Amino acid sequence: MKLSLNTEKTKRWPHLRRMRHFYRNRVQRARWPFGANVYFGKYVDRLPDGSIVFFPCSQTTLCCGIAGIVAFKNKPKEPHNFKFESLEEMVRQIEAAGYQSCQQTDRWNECYLSGSEKIDALWRRVQSLKLNNRFFSVFSDESAQNQIEGLANHLAAIIQTETDLLDEQMGRLSSELVDLISLRIEKLKDIAWSLENDILSNIKKIRDFLIHSPEAPSRTSVSVFKKINAVLNSIDRLEVRGRDSAGISIMFIFDPAEFQKFEAALTHAGIRDQFKDRCEPDLLINGGINCQPSTTPDGKKQVAVAVTYKIALEIGSLGDNVQYLRRQIANDPVFQILATIPPSFDTIAAHTRWASVGAITEANCHPVDNQATGGKTPKCGIIHTCLNGDIDNFQELKAQFEGNGQRIHSEITTDTKMIPLKIQQYFQRGHAVDEAFRLAVNDFEGSHAISMHTDLAPGKLFLAQRGSGQAIFVGIADAHYIPSSEVYGFVEETPYFLKLDGEKTVEGKHGQTQGQIFILDQDSSGGLDGIKARYYDGTALDLNENDLKFTEITSCLLYTSPSPRD
C-alpha cells in the first residue's frame, strides 16, 4: 500500500513549494515511529510499498512542448569585471552564522546563515554570472571556473553540516524554527546547484557545441551556442509532455557584408556546395536550410538564414532526442561557420512533439515552413511555426488551400502545416506580418498554442494561445525572453514570467473575444516594454507590473524533489 496525498504538481504553483516544506518538516519529525519512507513529487508506481507520497506526479497527460528565445539588443551591457573574492567572503560570513553560532544568541531570524537578505544577495550575485559578458569571462577563464567549483564545494559542506545539525535537533525545535532553518538550507542548495549546473555544466555543454569550430570561441559564437543550449535545456525538460519527435529552428538575419564573409568562409573550408545543396528543400527535414535575401520596408537589404534540425523517434528514452539535436549542431560544419558571423537579429524556436495528427516523421516534426508546390504565387519569406494542440478544421483549410492549385507535399500530414501557409496567404494579400498572424490564428478551430518566427519580422517571436488545453509562459530574464509550455521550461534562466491567458473572455471590438497574442521583440531593452500584446480580435492588451509573476521553483528543485523526469 502507498499513501498518496493527492494534489496538483508543485511545479505548477509556487505556493505549493512552501506547503511541501511545511509537510516535509512535520513528516520528518514524525516518520520515525512509523518507519515509512516519505517522498515528495514522485510517481507512485515507482516507489516501494509502504511509502508516503506528498504531491504525487501523474503520467496520464501527453501533449507537446514549445520553447524559444529572444535576446534583447538594447539592454545596457553589464560590466565585464566580477570579483569572486566578494562571493567567497559572503560564503564565509554565512558559514560563520551557522546553527551553533545562532544557538548562543537565540536571534535566529537575524542570525541564522547571516539572514535572508544576505542569502538573497548571494543568490543574485550568482545569477549575474549568467549574463553574457560575465558568462563569457568565466567561459574563457579556467581559473574562474575552478573558483566557482570551490565555492560550490564550500556551500555543499555548509549544507551538509547544517542539515546534520537540524536532523539531530529537530525534535527539540519549534515548527516555526524548523521551517526557518529548512528554508535557508534549501536556498543554499539552490545556490550551490546553480553554480555547479546552471554555470559549470552549461559551460561544458557549450564547449561540446564548439568542439569542431573553425576558430577559437568568440563572444559571438559563445552567445549563439549559449542561447541554443538554453532552449535545448528547456526542451529536454519539456519532453515529459511528449517525445516522439523534436525540432529546433535557428534563424539569423545578416547584413549583406556579413553574409559575404560567411560565403567566403564556406568557400575557404570547401563546403560552399554543401550549403547550396541544403538550401530550400522541398521538405523541411533535419539539416534543412532556408536562405532568403530581402529588402526591409525602409529599403535596407538583408539576408536571412534559418537552419533546422529534427528527429522523429517512436521508441527511445527521455533525453535521447535532445542529445541527438546537440550532436547534429556540433557536427555541422556549415553551422559552425555560421555561428561565428555576427547577426543583426537572431531568434530560436523549438518543439517537442506528441503526434496527435500526422505520422511520426521528420517531415511532420515541428517547426514546419511555408513551402508548397504548384500554383502561381511564389513563397514569400521564411515562416517557421510550432503547434501545441490541434487544428480541428485542418482538412477543410487544406482543401481550400489546394483548391487554388497549390499542393502540400504528400509526406506532410500534420495539421501544423496550415499555420505558416495561412499566415503567408494573408501577408500576400497585403496585410502586415503581425496582422497576417492574427488573422491566421483566428481561422483555426480548437484549443491551441502557436509560435512563429519569420524573416518578414526580424528579431520577433510571435505567440498565440486560445482555449484551455495548452499554455504558454514567457520567462523574462535580464538579457532575454524564454517562452515555454511549462514553468519548468524557463526556471533555469529566470523566476519571472508572464502567462498568456487563452481561456479569458473579454469584451472586444465586436463583442466577446477569446485568445491572446504576444509578440516578443529583440529590438528592445526587454521587460514589458518589448512585448506587444492583444486579443485575437485585435483589441489591445495592456500589460503592467501586476501581470508579472514570480515562481519559487528552481532548476535544483526540478532534479531533486519533485522532478518532472523521475
Q: What is the 3-state secondary structure (H, E, C) of 184-196?
A: HHHHHHHHHHHHH
Q: What is the pTM of this model?
A: 0.87
Residues 479, 464: contact at Cβ < 8 Å? Answer: no
Residue from 208, 213, 205 nearest 231 by CA: 205
Query: Are the beta carbons of 484 and 490 closer than 8 angstroms?
Result: yes
DSSP one-letter string for 293-315: EEE-TTS-EEEEEEEEEEEE-SS
Paired strand residues for 307: 250, 289
Quick: pLDDT tens for 514-524.
Answer: 999 999 999 99
* 18 pLDDT above the threshold of 80: no
pLDDT tens-digit profile of 258-277? 999 999 999 999 999 999 99
E-strand stretches of 229-376: 245-254, 289-295, 301-312, 345-353, 373-374
82 contacts 261 by C-beta, under 8 angstroms? no
Q: Out of 167-171, 180-184, 560-564, which region has the weakest mean confidence (pLDDT)?
A: 560-564
Residues 335-345 pLDDT 10s: 999 999 999 99
**CB atoms inside a 10 Å sphere around CB 273:** 10
> One-letter amino acid identity for 251?
M
Query: What is the CB neighbour count within 10 angstroms for residue 111?
Result: 17
In this prediction, residue 240 carries a pLDDT of 74
For residue 420, give the DSSP letter: H
> What does the alpha-carbon distance between residue 281 and residue 276 come to, in Å, rounded to a whole number?
10
Please report, to the nearest 10 degrees, the dihedral formed by the alpha carbons of residues 81, 87, 89, 91 taken in order.
180
Q: What is the pLDDT of residue 94?
A: 97
SS3 265: helix
Cβ-in-10-Å burial (0-12, 13-18, 19+) of 126 comes to buried
**pLDDT above 50: residue 418:** yes
Beta bridge partners of residue 462, listed in sequence order? 452, 519
Alpha-carbon span 425 to 415, nearest angstrom: 16
φ, ψ for residue 215, nearest 5 deg: -145, 170
90 phi and psi, to 5 degrees? -60, -40
HSE-CB of 94 using CA atoms within 13 angstroms: 30
Output the nine-digit C-alpha cell for 59: 503520467
What number is the average pLDDT over the span 290-300?
Answer: 88
pLDDT band, very low/low/confident/very high, at 531 (cuts 50, 70, 90): very high
Strands 38-40 and 52-54: parallel
Tell me which residue has cell 517537442. Answer: 352
Phi, psi of 409, rounded to the nearest 5 degrees: -50, 140
Task: Enumerate residues 6+ apart whose C-beta is below 8 A from 168.
Answer: none
* Strand locations in 27-102 (E): 38-40, 52-54, 65-71
Indicate the length of the chain as a whole number. 566
Q: What percent of the chain shows pLDDT beyond 90?
A: 71
